[in-house]
Amino acid sequence: MRSNTKKELLLKYGIPCLSVVVVAVQLFFVSERQLSKWKGGGYGMYSEIHYYYNQIYIPDLSVDSLVKTSLEMKETLGYLMVMPNDKNIENAAKLILETTQRDSVFVQLWKPVVSLKNKTFTRALVNEIYLKKSDL
Amino acid sequence: MSILIHIKNSLKDPIKIAQFLLALFAVIYLVLLADDFFVFKIPILVGGLVFWIIDYKKRAFPVLWLTILVLLIIDVIGSYFWVANHHFLLCFMVLSMITFFYHKRSSILFVNIQTLVVIVLLLSVFQKLFSSQFISGNFYYHDINQGAMFRPLFYLFPDSLEIANQNVDNIKKLKESDPNLEHSIAVIDIVPNLRIMTVIYAWLTILVEAIVALFLIWKPRSTWTHLFLIIMICGILFTKLETGFMSLLAICGLFLCTSLKQKLIYIAILMVCILIIMAKMGYH
């Protein structure tokens, strides 16, 4: 009888509990790894401006052209947009150095900032890195 | 008249019809999502469908559901941070279908679906409440002024569309400049009093989602619950064509409702969403 109750509880709430685990993982990544709330299965879509509006800025280099160089570059810069943490910006800088044969690279990630009070649109710096080839 | 009776009889078992529609949605979703891995995903899916048809009488294994789940999980593993939120919800719903195949208890399936929707809604409320950008109205202000929301209204107010396009152009120009110079641009409101409207709409969104979640916990079969859920789904679709997520919420509503009218409304919403998805419009 008792095992039946346990089994019923497991069948009723096992799958929802699994979804809560996914949510907990997403919340961890949002707070510790700077993941956009839009992704990771935590149902945080439409709670902040989409990461698509983030901007990667590299002086004297077109990001649009850079993205087209390889699938790896597209993925690496994509990860930087959705999760602009230190690891991802470093990975992006390393790959850019390897691809462009430069001696150094300066990569910044900016996010949009809108103020309805002032009716303005501007950008705020999220993360940046200056990497030299000699550092690799 | 006989057609109406036939429809009524078909809708008597909401689980059967909801299961069929969920499978239909999942297959369309997987085909559209196949993209680069079309070569191996589609044969797996076709194999699952063929086996499902051959095994029609025996139905010893939930082959189709297992095939769908495997393909969904491949995407989760390969693109964990890229798949949409409704991809996760779809995985859990398919998992519920597989367990239902074995326990065959509609009351358990009902609790599965009810709890999943409640979690989705409460998390959505929680994430919005803890986002200063959302509760201040800045999020809606950004998207609405760029014409990313309420697209149908632009057909009625072409002047607003022009202003939105102007905002997009100005932002594009700003993005061409060095962000370290800390330039900013003025945003032009597409309609008067947009500042107040966005704040009200932000809180209204939170309120509606919270009400639907609480009603689903308290009285999941009540007419009021489903009325609020239907209003919320239609409201979201009007704000933005989130056809993927809304299809799943409509299927969840179908699992949970009892009235014929509600079932027909959910089916109609789902059909419209599927048509939009197949036309490759909307977000899925």
Q: How far apart are the first and last CA of chain B?
A: 36
Confidence of residue B219 (pLDDT cuts 50, 70, 90): very high
- What are the sequence ranges of the domains in chain A? 1-47, 51-135
B95 and A15 within 8 Å at the Cβ level: the answer is: yes
Min distance B30 CA to chain A CA atoms (Å): 18
Nearest to A129 by CA among A75, A82, A72, A91: A91
User: What tokens appear for B103 in the block?
Assistant: 């326990």
Range 53-112 of A in CB contact (< 8 A) with B: 53, 55, 57, 59, 78-79, 82-83, 108, 110, 112
B81 closest CB neighbour out of A15, A35, A119? A35
Confidence of residue B278 (pLDDT cuts 50, 70, 90): confident
To which H or E segment does residue A114 belong? strand A104-115
CA atoms of B198 and B17, how far apart (whole Å): 39
Share of chain B above pLDDT 90, in %: 74
CA atoms of B34 and B40, how far apart (whole Å): 9
CA atoms of B75 and B218, how far apart (whole Å): 35
Instruction: Report the residue count for chain A.
Output: 136
Give the pLDDT confidence of B22-72 residue by residue, as tens digits: 999 999 999 988 776 777 888 888 888 888 888 766 666 788 999 999 999
A-B interface: how many C-beta pairs under 8 angstroms?
A: 148
A11 closest CB neighbour out of B103, B116, B124? B103
Q: How far apart are the first and last CA of chain A?
A: 64
Contacts 24+ apart (CB under 8 A), A7-12: A8/B108, A11/B99, A11/B103, A11/B105, A11/B108, A11/B112, A12/B108, A12/B111, A12/B112, A12/B115
Compute how many other C-beta atoms are within 10 angstroms of the C-beta atom of residue A95.
19
Helices (H), A33-136: 63-67, 71-82, 86-100
Class of residue B269 by CB neighbours under 10 A (exposed 0-12, middle 13-18, buried 19+)? buried
A43 and B82 within 8 Å at the Cβ level: the answer is: no
Strands (E), chain B: 185-186
Min distance A90 CA to chain B CA atoms (Å): 18
Angle CA B17–A18–B211, to nearest 5: 65
Share of chain B above pLDDT 70, in %: 94
Phi first, then psi: give them for residue A47, nearest 5 degrees: -105, -10
Residue type, A62: S
B184 and A121 within 8 Å at the Cβ level: the answer is: yes
Class of residue B226 by CB neighbours under 10 A (exposed 0-12, middle 13-18, buried 19+)? buried
pLDDT at B14: 77
User: For residue B158, what are the CA distances in angstroms to B15, B142, B162, B171, B184?
Assistant: 44, 19, 6, 20, 26
Q: In terms of CA atoms, which chain A residue is nearest residue B167?
A: A121
Among A82-91, B155-164, B196-205, where is mean pLDDT lowest?
B155-164
A114 and B142 within 8 Å at the Cβ level: the answer is: yes
Min distance B158 CA to chain A CA atoms (Å): 22
A122 touches chain B (CB under 8 A): yes
Give the pLDDT confidence of B80-130 residue by residue, as tens digits: 999 999 999 999 999 999 999 999 999 999 999 999 999 999 999 999 999
ipTM given for this complex = 0.93
User: For residue B35, what are the CA distances in angstroms to B26, B32, B41?
Assistant: 15, 7, 9
Give the pLDDT confidence of B145-196 residue by residue, as tens digits: 999 999 888 888 889 999 999 999 999 999 999 999 988 999 999 999 999 9
List beta partners, residue A128. A108
Torsion on CA atoms B142, B146, B152, B155, rounded to nearest 10: 140
Mutate to test the interface with B, among A20, A22, A46 (most CBs of B within 10 A): A46
pLDDT at B36: 66
To which H or E segment does residue A115 belong? strand A104-115
Q: In the predicted model, what is the mean pLDDT of residues B266-272?
A: 96
A12 and B112 within 8 Å at the Cβ level: the answer is: yes
CA atoms of A117 and B52, how far apart (whole Å): 58
